[in-house]
Amino acid sequence: MNQKVLKGNMSVITMTNKSLPQLDELYKEIILEHYRHPHGRIPVEHIHYQADGMNPLCGDEVKLALEVENNKIKRIFIDSHGCSISVASASMLAEILNNKTLDEAKLIYAHFKDMMHGVSLSEEFDIGDLEALEGVKKFPVRIKCALLPWTTFDEALAGHKHIEIS
């Protein structure tokens, strides 16, 4: 039997399946919503930073382009193909980082990366929908899926055009 729980202004389906209890945290409705309707799919006209990221072990792929004006992210294009975790994380990146300064965006990335590696975040720091991905840290092999779009973002800012993680 599924339980409906309210989280913020979004409803989350908590799955209660005795044979797969770990799915409780992994397949929340918010992740599936970002997977089904990803943000950031409109191409950027004036590209200032771009990179392609890939995990050859699982096949996840990310193409990212940023338009930056006055040190602020004006538009993000991110095309992600792969598992629901990777695509949802890419969609969340596009939604959360839009209109942030580059320093704010780097800080959000650092906090998200820490969270994925088990570091508790301060309650004052709001990472928005990314919180839904916290359960992924229970599955070490899937952490790279969640981090691929963010690593690609970080590498784009560093001037690298193509990255592979495995």
Residue 120 sits in a domain whose CATH number is 3.90.1010.10
Tens of pLDDT along the chain (166 residues) come to: 344 333 443 333 333 334 445 545 445 788 999 999 999 999 999 999 999 999 998 999 999 999 999 999 999 999 999 999 999 999 999 999 999 999 999 999 999 999 999 998 887 788 888 988 988 998 999 999 999 999 999 999 999 988 888 7
What does the pLDDT read at residue 162?
86
Look at residues 166, 165, 141 and name the one whose alpha carbon lies nearest to residue 153: 165
Measured at the CA of 154, the angle between CA 43 and CA 42, to 5 degrees, comes to 10
75, 132 in Cβ contact below 8 A?
Answer: no
Describe the crossing of helices 140-157 and 84-97 by its angle, rounded to 10 degrees: 40
- Backbone angles phi and psi of 11, in degrees to 5: -90, 145
pLDDT score, position 7: 41
Question: Pseudo-torsion of CA 109, 60, 81, 153, nearest 10°?
Answer: 30
Q: How many domains does the chain have?
A: 1
Domain range for 115 is 3-164
The pLDDT assigned to 29 comes to 86
CA distances from 76 to 9, 13, 66, 133 (A): 24, 29, 5, 21
